[in-house]
Amino acid sequence: MHELLVLAAASAAAFILAVLSAVAGFGGGVLLLPVFTALFGLRVAVPMLTLTQLSSNASRVWLNRHHLRWPLIGWFAAGTVPLAIAGGLLLAHAPLGPLKRLLGVFLIGVVIWRRLTPHPRKPRDRTFAAVGAASGLGSALLGSVGPLTAPFFLAYGLTRATYIGTEAASALTMHLSKMAAYGASDLLTRTVLLLGAALTPATLAGAWVGKKVVGRISDRLFVLLVEIGLLAAGALFLAGL
């Protein structure tokens, strides 16, 4: 009975935060990590979260497949694949606390910078290789750093379906690389695989509901939701969650 209650709580959290990810383009993973850590422990939570994100991102890619920016996805993958693999291999030994707090400061600083610079310079396509490298390493160590990429995709001018689909496809290359590294490090245990599979229906349902919501909001509200998500994620990282 206890195991069923834990699984029900995890499924409910996965559904709610999959809706958030589908609306804002990110955020579900960052907010799911503290929930999964409390329920299952950090070493199980991080690879299990990656499994959940695989299904969530894949569904967002499919639902927004007509709006993908393939050049950006290619540059992102070029940077993220090697660093995600390296981070996945280091997970068992890395000091996660200081890295989380540094990321928290960065995310809150990004929102302040966006408010002080409402019309930032558009990044070049090749810039996304560096963005992918940084997010690949951070995501492999922390479970999710989706908010790290948001400012760059927004500054490029992507919004709503184009932003959500392109960001999800970029993240998918990262999560697949992390899975390979976790498997090589013996972190993909039977428990992790079973839990990840059990939570997949909730994440797919959440992505579908979120897709219905995002088509009904304005670009201005969309960007505001993303910035609120950045602040929330930064606060969670600073708190060490």
Q: Which of 160, 201, 132, 149 is nearest to 30 (CA)?
A: 149
CA distance 217 to 224: 11
Splitting the chain (241 residues) into consecutive groups of 10 residues, what average pLDDT does each group show?
74 76 63 71 76 81 90 94 87 69 75 73 90 86 70 84 89 89 80 80 78 69 72 76 59
**What pLDDT shows up at residue 9?**
78
Whether 237 and 104 have beta carbons less than 8 Å apart is answered as yes
DSSP assignment, residue 122?
P
pTM, full prediction: 0.71
**What pLDDT shows up at residue 140?**
81
CA distance 164 to 153: 9
Amino acid at 101: R
Whether 27 and 21 have beta carbons less than 8 Å apart is answered as yes
Angle value at C-alpha 118, between 151 and 27, nearest 5 degrees: 30
**What pLDDT shows up at residue 111?**
77
The residue ranges of every structural domain in the chain are 2-238
CA distance 176 to 87: 13
**What pLDDT shows up at residue 25?**
58
Angle value at C-alpha 232, between 211 and 68, nearest 5 degrees: 35
